[in-house]
């Protein structure tokens, strides 16, 4: 689930990414990480950029508000979303119903 750092205007989110998927989607929750599928290959940061774009679109925030905090070279990542509290983040993800 989303964690709220000391800054109340930002939240962090653990994600597990499946690169080279047939379509981009929010797959759902597994344990405490949100599972994402992106079509981009994990080469030269393309999948990381796709993750940020997918989350920004799903959450209704600017792409520049979503940044990678940890996990640039692995499937498990931590993403920071500026301008949303942890409660707002949970609410927006619940409203999406797992689709992006």
Give the pLDDT confidence of 31-81 residue by residue, as tens digits. Answer: 999 999 999 999 999 999 999 999 999 999 999 999 999 999 999 999 999
Distinct helix (H) and strand (E) counts, the chain: 2, 5
Predicted confidence (pLDDT) at residue 1 exceeds the cutoff of 70: no
Strands 10-18 and 25-30: unpaired
Q: What stretches of the chain show up as alpha helix (H) in DSSP?
A: 46-59, 86-96
- pTM, 2 dp: 0.86
Please name each of the domains of the chain with its CATH number: 10-91 (3.30.1200.10)
Predicted confidence (pLDDT) at residue 2 exceeds the cutoff of 80: no
Is residue 9 very low, low, confident or very high in pLDDT (cuts 50, 70, 90)? confident
Is residue 94 very low, low, confident or very high in pLDDT (cuts 50, 70, 90)? confident
């Amino acid at each position: 689930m989303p964690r709220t750092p000391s800054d109340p205007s930002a939240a962090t989110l653990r994600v597990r990414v499946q690169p080279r998927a047939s379509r981009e989607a929010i797959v759902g929750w597994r344990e405490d990480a949100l599972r994402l599928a992106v079509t981009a290959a994990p080469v030269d940061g393309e999948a990381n950029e796709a993750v940020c774009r997918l989350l920004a679109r799903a959450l209704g925030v600017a792409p520049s508000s979503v940044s990678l905090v940890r996990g640039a070279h692995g499937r498990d990542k931590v993403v920071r979303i500026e301008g949303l509290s942890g409660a707002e983040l949970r609410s927006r993800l619940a409203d999406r119903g797992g689709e992006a």
